[in-house]
Amino acid sequence: MIVPSVFVRNEWERCYAKLEIDRAYWHPTPDKWPHVRFSRVKSGQTIWSSILQRQWVQATIEDPKNQLLILSSTGDDSNAMTMAAYIAAKINYRRHFVLTTDISYRIPHIPKGESLPTFLLFHNILGNATNARCEQLRNNLIRFRNCARVVVVAGCKNPHRFATEKLGLSADCYCRIAETTP
């Protein structure tokens, strides 16, 4: 869905609109970034503290490279999607090629010779997604392993377990967004 330009009031909103991100997720402006609350995540022997999660997100924004981040929030995916939309808009604002795709995982055909995306955002996936859906997601994550990828998972308390058990992949960072963000 392309957002009509009448709704776009500034440069940040123009980035969100260009990425066809729903207007409900447009509110994380740069001044709100420090107020996002992360919850601790355990992956193997590593405890992903809120400080470590924040550092990984900031590093992804500053230098998107071939890394995989799993963002989750319990209940619906609105808090995780808000954070992912913010990351996508910031990377797009820096003139990088960004693609977003929903649960259908239909990635536009990229003709040979054209540049691959710098950042790819997958959203609208549930923590209890079917094996077929997870396999399709996994195949796309592997296909685009040379770019930064963020997967937004709804209803998932442990993004590490989702990545390892459902996708069979190990991510570079696991973030769980707290249920309440300002």
Using alpha carbons, list the distances in angstroms from residue 149 to 35, 76, 117, 177: 23, 20, 10, 17
- What would the pLDDT profile of 38-86 be if each residue is shown by its tens digit? 666 666 656 667 777 778 778 888 888 888 888 888 777 777 887 888 8
Which pTM does this prediction carry?
0.79
148 vs 130: CA distance, rounded Å: 24
- What would the pLDDT profile of 128-181 be if each residue is shown by its tens digit? 888 988 988 898 888 888 888 899 998 888 888 899 999 999 888 888 877 654
Instruction: Outline where DSSP puts E strands in 28-182.
Output: 38-39, 41-43, 46-48, 68-73, 98-101, 119-126, 148-154, 173-177
Q: Where are the domains of the chain?
A: 8-22+33-177
The answer as to CATH 3.40.50 being correct for domain 8-22+33-177 is: yes
Q: What per-residue confidence (pLDDT) applies to 182?
A: 43
> What size, in residues, is the chain?
182
- On whether the CB atoms of residues 164 and 170 are closer than 8 A, the answer is yes
